[in-house]
Structure 1
Amino acid sequence: MLPQEESLKILGEFLQEHHCDRVNEISIDTIIELGRIVLQANVFVYGNKFYRQIIGGAMGSAFTLTLANIFMWKWEKQTLLSKLPTHEIYGRYIDDVFFTSNDSEEKIKRILEKANQFHPNIKLEYHIGQNLPFLDINLHNNNGQLLSSVYHKSAAEPAVLSFLSDHPRHVFRNVIQTALMRAIRYSSTLEVFNIERRTIRLMLLYNSYPSTYINEQFQRFFMKYTSSSSSSQSLLPLITNEQEFFGLREKLFAQPSIKQIQMTKSANTVEIISNVQQNGQTTIPITKIIVKRKNIDKFINNIFIHCVHESRFHGLQRHIHEIHDSFFKNTDYRNIRLIVGHRNNPNLNFQLSRKRPRSSLLKDPSKKCRYTYSNL
């Protein structure tokens, strides 16, 4: 669990080390005080009693996740990074850590046990071996050659979104495209990829995806990323050339993920603010203003409508466009674009669960309501 006060102290150290004396004109002291409010204002009711969280932060909170990453930044800097040679592989996702080493197992254990003494709330459960999972990837040391494949958790597989569920069609396409993308990125050889591709097909069939639909989506995926005619002419698209597979991997690795794009934008924003604070004036914010202007124009020239998706409303999107065109096609508003999107049905368990304590518990018992009567 994240220690609250120590985490806020490390947050201040992190901002100072990265020369962020002010972020969006907010000082470090103010940021820490705001962070303290976020951490210490987490309460819940159980058994007619109020409880306040004193260790850690709210799960799902963007601030808690960021603070945990900053806390682990301090942890890894003092415990592991200084002990590992520069040629070794090291990676961390929040509190999950992976690294390679040619040292003896006894020496590695001593390093990890020393790392467990950093804070009483941070304890590592470590595994040392030639074949280990890290998040959703399986890594194998084959005589000094690092091989990788998709790691399947027994608790989650082979369940994916059922084809019989009431969702827009693009959701099912995304399930297949994402699975294939992950298989290519994680599979270090063509043989490993073909095994994973067959696993994906069986998983989709198990979840009621029609075989023809699977073939269609496989075909679309390989035609998008490969130039070979072998996959486009085959009813069951395959990659038979090892060199073609490696070329496809390099192409997909070069494409940033949505998370990477978001992180790059955030980093650029911090850099812009830092340059403004240090230099007083710079030409970089002009680019930022232009981007904001484009975002504003996007909403001026477009109309967005989002409908809750239901199968019985199939064709509603087309009907809305037809009604829009019948009124505005030959008018001054014809250049305004109508965009109709879908919202998924809300989760029933989430809707029925109680989010707020009973109103009687929220009343201050020391303030009794007094009534005044008068006869007119």
Structure 2
Amino acid sequence: MKYSKQGKIGTFAIDHIMKMARLILDTNCFAYNNKYYKQIRGAAMGSAFTQVLANIYMFEWEQDLIQYQEKHNGIYGRLNSIEEIYRELEKAQHKDINIKITTIISTSIHFLDVTITNGNGKLRTSIYHKPTTESYILPYTSDPPRHIHRNIPYEALLRAARICLHVNDFYFERIRIDMSLLLNHYPPSFITKQINRFFRLNNAMSVLHELNEDVYHHLHQTLLRQPTRREKTLIYMMHYPTVKPLVLQPKIWNKELMYPCYLTQLHHHLHTDRSIQRTNRV
């Protein structure tokens, strides 16, 4: 409640958030070996609400560390001694038995999908890949719209150019992207065409052919400052808070109607309905 405005967080009332949380946490059932089970602790990893709920919880959980940081006018690690760092982390460790803290002191650390390395006082970022993660992407043999396949190499290179500070790290990531595409049956000619498309649209062909450091630095800085698709959506929602997607719009209850969540589903339904009508006429 203390972070809400007029009883709301964003477009959701606090009461609605509480009801959704109870519904999802209390009705989390699954089947295994021909038996039904109900999860009584935690939430399903595949649920979109689980991540939101975890973010809400962790936001409150870390407030003590944030207040300590603000009080001492420094980041977590800027303390008087290593012993004091461990004391603060040990205090946080006992705050909730479900939240485990792993303490690492090193010149390199992983955060989400980024590896941050301290090299002689200069920070260097590159992409972090979990050792257990396989090189799996949407297979070329699958049958989504073709623009989905075209966007996969582009988005992968876009992510690499944003994260990798050094051109050599970007080069090795591009090779990794090539291998992942080949392993998922993308034709070599298709891969070459889409990779060239990325560098051509971003005026960085010399990075592809010569690993030009100056051009790559400009590319990295330019893409790093561009908002992501999610950030663009959030900015749009902030400027137009009354505009809601179909999934959030109030609807009149009618058990005989099925509402599409998004316009793409509505277009698919109309296309299918017309196809059925044509078949019936034939």
Normalising by structure 2, report the TM-score.
0.72
User: Are the aligned partners of 1:138 and 1:150 in contact in 2 as well (CA < 8 Å)?
Assistant: yes
Deviates more, 1:207-216 or 1:134-143: 207-216
Counterpart of 1:54 (choices 33, 40, 62) is 40
Q: Higher relative contact order at CA 8 Å, sep ≥6: structure 1 or structure 2?
A: 1
Matched residue, 1:260: 231
TM-superposition CA deviations, 1:247-285 (whole Å, max 9, x none):
11122122222222333345556xx5xxxxxxxxxxxxx
The answer as to 2:196 corresponding to 1:219 is: yes
TM-score, normalised via structure 1 length: 0.56
What is the aligned length? Answer: 254
Alignment partners' CA distance in 2, 1:220 and 1:250? 19
* Cα offset, 1:114, TM superposition: 0.9
Q: Does residue 68 of structure 1 match 2:54? A: yes
Which aligned pairs between 1:223-262 and structure 2 lie closer than 5 A? Answer: 223-226=200-203, 230=206, 237-238=208-209, 240-262=211-233
Contact kept in structure 2, 1:137 and 1:149, CA below 8 Å = yes
Max Rg structure: 1
3-state SS, counterpart of residue 97 of structure 2: coil
Q: Secondary structure at the match of 1:156?
A: coil
Q: Shift of residue 201 of structure 1?
A: 2.4
Task: After TM superposition, give the deviation of residue 245 of structure 1 in Å.
Answer: 1.1
Residue equivalent to 1:304: 267
Contact 1:150-1:183 within 8 A present in 2 as well = yes
What displacement does 1:221 show? 0.5
TM-aligned CA deviation for residue 29 of structure 1: 4.8
Distance 1:57 1:246, change over 3 A: same
Secondary structure, counterpart of 1:202 in structure 2: helix
Determine if contact 1:190/1:242 at 8 Å carries over to the other structure.
Answer: yes
CA drift of 1:62 comes to 3.2
2:21 — aligned with what?
35
User: Distance between the aligned counterparts of 2:128 and 2:225, measured in 1?
Assistant: 22
Code of the aligned partner of 2:201: K
- Give distance in 2, aligned partners of 1:40 and 1:290: 27
Q: Secondary structure at the match of 1:81?
A: helix
Change (3 A) 1:249 1:306: farther
1:115, CA displacement in angstroms?
A: 0.6
Distance 1:19 1:130 in 2: 42
For 1:202 and 1:132, locate their aligned partners in 2 and report how far apart those are by CA, in whole Å: 26
How many Å separate the matches in 1 of 2:68 and 2:5? 26
Q: Distance in 2 between matches of 1:17 and 1:169?
A: 43
Q: Secondary structure of the residue that 2:52 maps to in structure 1?
A: helix
1:200 aligns with 2:177: yes
Residue 267 and residue 126 in structure 1: after superposition, are their counterparts in 2 closer, same or farther (change >3 A)?
A: farther
Task: Say whether the 8 Å CA contact 2:26–2:40 is kept in structure 1.
Answer: yes
Q: Distance in 1 between matches of 2:201 and 2:22?
A: 49
Distance verdict in 2 for CA 1:214–1:102, change over 3 Å: farther
Contact between 2:206 and 2:215, CA under 8 Å: does it hold in 1?
no
Q: Does the 8 Å CA contact 2:160/2:173 hold for their aligned counterparts?
A: yes
* Percent identical residues: 35
Runs of 5+ unmatched residues, structure 2: 247-261
Q: Which position in structure 1 is the counterpart of 2:99?
A: 122
Confirm or deny: 8 A CA contact 1:44 1:50 kept in the other structure: yes
